[in-house]
Structure 1
Amino acid sequence: MSISRDIRIVVGIDFGTTYSGFSYTHLSNPIVITNEEWPGQTGQFKTNTTLKYTNENYENVDCWGYPAMKKSPIELFKLHLGDIPESNKPYLPPNLSYKKAITDYLREIGKVLIKKTVKTRWPGIEWHQVLFVLAVPAEFPENSKRILRECVYKADLISYEKTYKLQFTTEPEAAAIHCISNIPETEIDNYIGRSFLVVDCGGGTVDLTIRKLLNKNELGEVTIRTGDFCGGTCVDQEFVKFLELKVGESAISSLKENHYEKYQYLIQEFCRNVKLHFTGIEEEYKNYELDIEQSCPILKKYITGSKKRRLEDDEWNIELGFDDIKKMFDPVISKIIKLIHDQLDNDKTCSTIFLVGGFSESKYLQERIKKEFNIRVDHILIPFQPIAAVARGAVKYGINNKFIKNRVLKYTYGRSTLKEYNESIDQISRKRDSGYVLAFKTLAKKGTTVDVDQKFFQTFHPENSNQEKMLCQILITKKDNARYCDEEDVKKLGDFIIDLPDANLGKDRKVYFELCFGEMEIQVHARNEYNGSEYNATFDYYDENTDEF
């Protein structure tokens, strides 16, 4: 879909697990601007994805972003959208739903946006003239877009829930668009027809995809997207483990529980003084001394036993040598390098690696990747403002959403169907009264390259002669050959309900069913093949988390 005439401003939002930011442009002069002013911070492209509420009713936000880090914040709530076990999802208070936390955070983002654009830079702009593009992780389930659309609406960023003025792109797609958009016009012809790998090294996760530049304004996808939890904050976690060895796990646990702001201060001081400057070259490293009495005196009261005596002998100083820091980086970087190898093994023609995301600014990470892959690829590049790549690319996508030509399916998509019972294959318990078995019918297979708006269709008939409605489940799986709808690793994406008004026709009512992979959201359609009527049909994403707010 081309951009609507009433749109004047396009905003790209990178709602991240640990840090978030936004970029924007006015269509009259589409230079992309990245916000650098946040509560308590200036000169930063992102702020912390954190909230602090006024009380335990969690009705009103007290502060958010960087200021909330000093007050035991609500954090990591974005991960509740992900397809991870409930036991692995971050803690939230019982009376605060993750949807409300996301809504409240996006509302605060909107307040900054209004101040920066509508009220200050372009005071004549009305809110309805703004198009929002929200980037979502590629590995998040399909229903996350429906949930985010609901949250954006309740955050008062859009006037009604199904408006076209909220669009979605994936984080790796946005990052890829940013990378290509920053290639000089004089060089762009050298990239056309060639594949490139985008490695988005964020705070929590690293996402990778190989894409191909089909022409100057069109990208295709070559490989299935991959990723892992090996972002920059994993180095911070290794630092915390190092501290636990020096002062005791219970001491760090007590500090985090009772003085969260001091706990965060230790991590931020490590990032500022060590992590950001570490190059992996021993001659360039100067030993870092953590003076507990000066940096975090409250920690002393939680340290006991032999660790306390040893630190007293060392005058409460903890020295971090070159090898100590290297050991914090190496497990994380090794995971990233393996992910890159796996992608390049799937496309041996890949000529360029782009590094984006906040962690991509690490000199040590850059050097390790260059050393490992400078023979396999021609170029390893870090584009302009890599930490803001997703937000900036989302703006470009909003201006031209035809930039994405195709995608590689990460799942096999199917529907529920009825097949005749076969005693040599099917368990007797699966046989229905009609003599059929409810089975998985593949619509589009994992690994298939699918053009935007490409359709997959099938026809089928009702199970019983007197049926007035037909329920069809839309299913996804990573399995290659799923047989039944209730198998392990087969998940329900949503329900498709079809009206069947012509009961007098019995089972002869052939139904045409179509699934379309739209620009970002899946569309479904049904038609009565007997009389050509379009059926009233609904498609509702299945959400096992039915909490309201």
Structure 2
Amino acid sequence: MRKFPTSSEKKSKSKKSQSSSHIRVVVAIDFGTTNSGFASAHKESPEKGEIYTAWPGNKPDHKTPTALQYDSKYKKVTAWGIKALVEFQEDAESSDDDDSQLSRPVELFKLHLSDLKDEDKPWLPPELDYKQAIKDYLTGMRKLVEERLSSRWSSVKFPSQVKIVLTIPAEWPPDTTEIMRKCAHEAGLLNKLSSNNLEFTTEPEAAALYCLSVVKEHNLKPGDCGGGTVDITIRKLLENNGLGEITERIGYPCGSTFVDKEFLKFVGEKVGMHALSKFKKNHYKQIQYLVQEFFCRKIKIHFNGKQSEWKIKKLNLLNYCKNLQGYVTGDRKTEMENAGWIIKIDFTSVKEMFDPVVNKILELISDQLKASKEKCSAMFLVGGFAESVYLLNKVKETFRFQVEDICVPTSPKTAVVQGGLYYGLNINTVKTRVLKWSFGIEAANEWVSGNDEERRSPKGLIYTFECLAKRGSQVDVNKPFSKIFHPARADQKAVAFKIFYTASVDGKYCDDPGMNYIKTLHINLKNVQFFGRDRPIEFKLTFGQLESKASAYNNITGKLIKEIYFDRKD
């Protein structure tokens, strides 16, 4: 007989806010690592949805850089988006002053949400916490969103009548949604932290939803699948344009930004890594100019992996980094002076910049195809890196015998934000998901001889992990998993259902390695009819879109006793 865990903890007062506000407008925000954007649509005319392009300080574009410029103490934001970055050519060519670290723009701070090792995470000034940076950036975004909605629909009340959809990576830590919800609230996107005006969807899911708009072009019927890129999932096309997930979502930080890092590593090998690092610290504008104006514009977007079409590129370092020579010393300085500060970049060198990143993406795609028990009919590459000819060629070359149709749909850069908007307008489109974790509670059972002796409590009980939903299970959205539990003692007056999750499919105890606590559902047994141990409680875990709830019911009367909400951990 399963029994309740005993607990004297205080009752939880948290409860999901049930807002009665009438949602009139949906806004999808693609908070990207390097660039971000948003799109909006009125629920009464979703076909008139638009992607914002009028970014301050920039020519019309679908996105603006995910960058911030602070004052010298990193307390106040002085600029964000494209304004936070220098006008590369103008600044790099006209300024002789050191670009001190104090004035350096803050970029790539989204990666601090990831599981990257600390040494691999991008630079942040010691005075600035990455959560503060996220909040500051979303604040700038919120002001533009509010301004744009006011100009389009003056009668819409922001934020009470606006549904915000935030896209998040697939493989990032379980507390990502919790952190992003708090940052969104502090940025003014929500009236209350618990507001149900905020929805989350993963980036590959949003991309898959966007791809629904092109399935007819590829003659796909219900039963076919589509895939993503760096964040990858395989989806099944269901009736009425529904989507089902048939493999666990996977992802890894291996986008085009990491190709830029390989390019700088190549330059560092020529001039000395220490010299380049010190130069980058003091002349960040010139490094940005080198990467954007030379590497991205002249090499990265054109490289197709065909050696016969490659012509050696000559990089005159002093044209982009005029102060660099003051940092290079010893033999490397002599070599560079003899070469006139010109570096010749051959085909093999460029290929070696791309391959570590591209090979990781190929590995992720391969893992997804192996995990699927159904044939994948089409693969769509979306996102900024999807425009890389080399990446597309390598994916086609590697998987041409496994997937019939591999392509890049129209506007791959905006796929995530458009998919996020579609999700907000059609919240029930996603029908099934695959659990990335096993979920359960801590339960007290009678200790039986042969079990771990050291875990036996003074009252003859043993506390174990009672699994309700196993990792890898394909579940219908909002379908509950439930079990019946009874009190551990006849005189028990309260119960605490402690909810845990783990990557293991056979977790045994709640203190096992990799076991993680989520939340506790507290119940006063005075509210449960009958007495003694004959008080069956049905405990349910229900997995919503990206948010879930734990519920307890009187199993005899069928009445709800209590429920709590928590961010989904998968």
TM-score above 0.5, yes or no: yes
Q: Does 1:208 align with 2:232?
A: yes
Q: Does the aligned pair in 2 maintain the 1:196–1:354 contact within 8 Å?
A: no
Q: Secondary structure at the match of 2:406?
A: strand
Q: Does the aligned pair in 2 maintain the 1:495–1:540 contact within 8 Å?
A: no
Q: Does 1:519 align with 2:545?
A: yes
Query: Matches of 1:318 and 1:520 in 2, distance apart?
Result: 49
Count of aligned pairs? 530
The gaps in structure 1 that reach 5 residues or longer are: 201-205, 544-549
Closer, same or farther: CA 381–146 of 1 in aligned 2, 3 Å: same
AA at the equivalent of 1:12: A
2:177 maps to what in 1? 145
User: Any residues of structure 2 matched to 1:460-499 within 5 Å, and which?
Assistant: 460-499=485-524
2:165 maps to what in 1? 133
Q: 2:536 aligns with which of 500, 504, 510?
A: 510
Q: Does 1:386 align with 2:412?
A: yes
Q: Does the aligned pair in 2 maintain the 1:32–1:392 contact within 8 Å?
A: no
1:439 maps to what in 2? 464
Query: Matches of 2:491 and 2:286 in 1, distance apart?
Result: 69
Q: 2:223 aligns with which of 180, 188, 194?
A: 194
1:203 maps to what in 2? none
1:18 maps to what in 2? 34
2:95 maps to what in 1? none
Q: Secondary structure at the match of 2:323?
A: helix
Query: Matches of 2:165 and 2:564 in 1, distance apart?
Result: 25
Query: Matches of 2:196 and 2:567 in 1, distance apart?
Result: 18
- Larger RCO, structures 1/2 (Cα 8 Å, 6+ apart): 2
Q: What percent of counterpart residues are identical?
A: 41
Q: 2:282 aligns with which of 258, 261, 268?
A: 258
2:113 maps to what in 1? 81
1:376 maps to what in 2? 402
Q: 1:40 aligns with which of 43, 51, 57?
A: 57
Query: Matches of 1:49 and 1:467 in 2, distance apart?
Result: 54
1:268 maps to what in 2? 292
User: Any residues of structure 2 matched to 1:331-350 within 5 Å, and which?
Assistant: 331-347=356-372, 348-350=374-376
Q: Secondary structure at the match of 2:255?
A: coil
Query: Matches of 2:472 and 2:365 in 1, distance apart?
Result: 18
AA at the equivalent of 2:61: Q
Query: Matches of 1:468 and 1:66 in 2, distance apart?
Result: 59
Query: Matches of 1:143 and 1:332 in 2, distance apart?
Result: 26
AA at the equivalent of 1:98: Y
Q: Secondary structure at the match of 1:401?
A: coil
1:395 maps to what in 2? 421
Bigger Cα displacement from structure 2, 354-363 vs 209-218: 209-218
- Give the superposition deviation at 1:271: 0.9
2:69 maps to what in 1? 52
Q: Secondary structure at the match of 2:428?
A: helix
- Give the superposition deviation at 1:9: 2.4
AA at the equivalent of 2:260: D
Bigger Cα displacement from structure 2, 296-305 vs 338-347: 338-347
- Give the superposition deviation at 1:5: 9.1
> Cα RMSD over matched residues?
2.5
User: Any residues of structure 2 matched to 1:286-305 within 5 Å, and which?
Assistant: 286-305=311-330
- Give the superposition deviation at 1:106: 0.7
Q: 2:208 aligns with which of 163, 176, 181?
A: 176
Query: Matches of 2:341 and 2:72 in 1, distance apart?
Result: 37
Q: 2:341 aligns with which of 290, 301, 316?
A: 316
Query: Matches of 2:349 and 2:453 in 1, distance apart?
Result: 58
Q: Does 1:62 align with 2:88?
A: no
CA offsets per residue over residues 232-257 of structure 1, 9 Å max, x none? 11111110110111010111110122
Query: Matches of 2:262 and 2:308 in 1, distance apart?
Result: 23
Bigger Cα displacement from structure 2, 298-307 vs 223-232: 223-232
The gaps in structure 2 that reach 5 residues or longer are: 1-18, 87-102
AA at the equivalent of 2:129: S
TM-score, scaled relative to structure 2: 0.87
- Give the superposition deviation at 1:452: 0.7
Closer, same or farther: CA 74–501 of 1 in aligned 2, 3 Å: farther
- Give the superposition deviation at 1:86: 5.8
AA at the equivalent of 1:363: V
Closer, same or farther: CA 84–479 of 1 in aligned 2, 3 Å: farther
User: Any residues of structure 2 matched to 1:408-419 within 5 Å, and which?
Assistant: 408-419=434-445
Bigger Cα displacement from structure 2, 339-348 vs 454-463: 339-348
Q: Does the aligned pair in 1 maintain the 2:208–2:228 contact within 8 Å?
A: no
